């Protein structure tokens, strides 16, 4: 939480259920509040709608907001000039999830689900008030078919998007996919190389919003964080080392390719898992 603590010097982030408020405290004690409620995703926009008829799974979206705040003032008396937010939407695709991330008017999609998932992803876009033309980046955590299955369709629908994946996986994914390396930044997200499940697996972290999109580097089941499934993982020694890497970072919320989001205490839960592996 180092980043949040740094930001909180001037910005108190108060999560009031689904309404997130960023409250800037000015030097004289004057309060300025910026409510995000006008931009909150509509929760019931897509729940339970079967849009993936090819797979027979229920597709739906659930919405959660994270708050990204940027300390843009140079002195404690300067009014903040910008409070930008990261908002995100989970696209539930039966056994796997994709995510739609919004920052201002720009969109990144993380993973694309199985073949036929584009209609459900579109619902995620709509819930954030976005369209396909707002999509600038499609980030693939890894090459498995339940994560890249709708890549072609998503790119066909997104005229402004570039697709990205970890270097070792990017070259194995059919289509025009650019390579990312550990330490890169994309869409304001830090790329964390988390190989093992696949050789080029990546996770992405927004350190200010405190959101980790873990892909399949870790999974959730019953409120617990688990390592990747050995049956489907390339190299468990590497995969366990990647869990340790994720345990070294700080984030409140972690979302998974498989399992439900953990919205509070995310990195604590990953640390607990890492301790069982060491």
Binding interface with Zn ion (CB under 5 A): 144, 216
Which residue, 11 or 170, has its beta carbon nearer to Zn ion? 170
Q: How far is the CB of 181 from Zn ion (least distance, A)?
A: 20
83 versus 218: smaller Cβ distance to Zn ion:
218
Count Cβ neighbours within 10 Å for each residue of 197-214 and write b for 16 or more, e otherwise: bbbbbbbbbbbbbbbbbb
**Tokens standing for residue 153:** 């369709």
- Give the residue with the Cβ less far from Zn ion, 102 or 212: 212
Considering the complex, state which of residue 206 and residue 216 has its C-beta at the smaller distance from Zn ion.
216
Nearer to Zn ion, 65 or 220 (CB): 220
With a CB cutoff of 8 Å and minimum separation 6, the contacts of 200 are 142, 143, 165, 166, 167, 168, 169, 170, 172
Q: Please, which residue, 90 or 144, has the CB nearer to Zn ion?
A: 144
* CB closer to Zn ion out of 103 and 201: 201
Minimum distance from residue 25 beta carbon to Zn ion (Å): 43
The least CB distance from residue 252 to Zn ion, in Å, is: 24
**89 vs 216, beta carbon nearer Zn ion:** 216
The residues, any chain, with a CB within 8 Å of residue 29's CB and separated by 6 or more, are none
48: left (phi > 0), else alpha (psi -120 to 50), else beta?
A: left
* Alpha carbon distance 72, 80 (integer Å): 6
Phi, psi of 123, deg, nearest 5? -60, -40
The minimum distance between CB 41 and Zn ion, in angstroms, equals 26
CB atoms within 10 A of CB 261: 18
Min separation Cβ 201 and Zn ion, Å: 8
CB of 223 to Zn ion, least distance (A): 21
Polymer length of the chain = 278
Which CB contacts under 8 angstroms, 24+ apart, belong to 171-175?
172/143, 172/200, 173/140, 173/143, 173/148, 175/151
Residues forming a β-bridge with 190: 185, 205
CB 147 → Zn ion: shortest distance, Å? 6
- Quote the least distance from Cβ 148 to Zn ion, whole Å: 10
The position carrying tokens 């004690």 is 29
């Amino acid at each position: 939480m180092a980043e949040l603590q740094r930001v909180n010097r001037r910005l108190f982030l108060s999560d009031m259920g689904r309404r997130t408020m960023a409250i800037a405290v000015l030097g004289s004690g004057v309060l300025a509040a910026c409510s995000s409620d006008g931009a909150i995703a509509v929760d019931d926009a897509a729940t339970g709608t079967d849009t993936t008829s090819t797979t027979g799974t229920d597709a739906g979206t659930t919405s959660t907001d994270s708050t990204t705040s940027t300390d843009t003032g140079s002195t404690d008396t300067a009014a903040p000039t910008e409070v930008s937010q990261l908002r995100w939407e989970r696209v539930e695709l039966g056994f796997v999830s994709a995510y739609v991330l919004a920052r201002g008017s720009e969109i990144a999609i993380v993973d694309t689900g199985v073949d036929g998932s584009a209609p459900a992803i579109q619902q995620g876009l709509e819930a954030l008030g976005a369209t396909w033309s707002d999509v600038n980046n499609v980030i693939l955590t890894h090459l498995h078919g339940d994560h890249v299955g709708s890549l072609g369709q998503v790119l066909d629908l997104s005229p402004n998007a570039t697709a990205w994946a970890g270097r070792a996986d990017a070259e194995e994914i059919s289509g025009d996919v650019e390579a990312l390396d550990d330490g890169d930044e994309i869409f304001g997200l830090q790329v964390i190389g988390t190989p093992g499940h696949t050789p080029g697996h990546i996770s992405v972290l927004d350190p200010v919003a405190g959101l980790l999109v873990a892909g399949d580097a870790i999974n959730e089941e019953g409120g617990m964080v688990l390592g990747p499934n050995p049956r489907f993982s390339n190299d468990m020694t590497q995969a366990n080392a990647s869990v340790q890497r994720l345990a070294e970072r700080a984030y409140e919320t972690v979302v998974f390719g498989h399992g439900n989001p953990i919205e509070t205490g995310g990195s604590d839960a990953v640390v607990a898992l890492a301790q069982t592996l060491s």
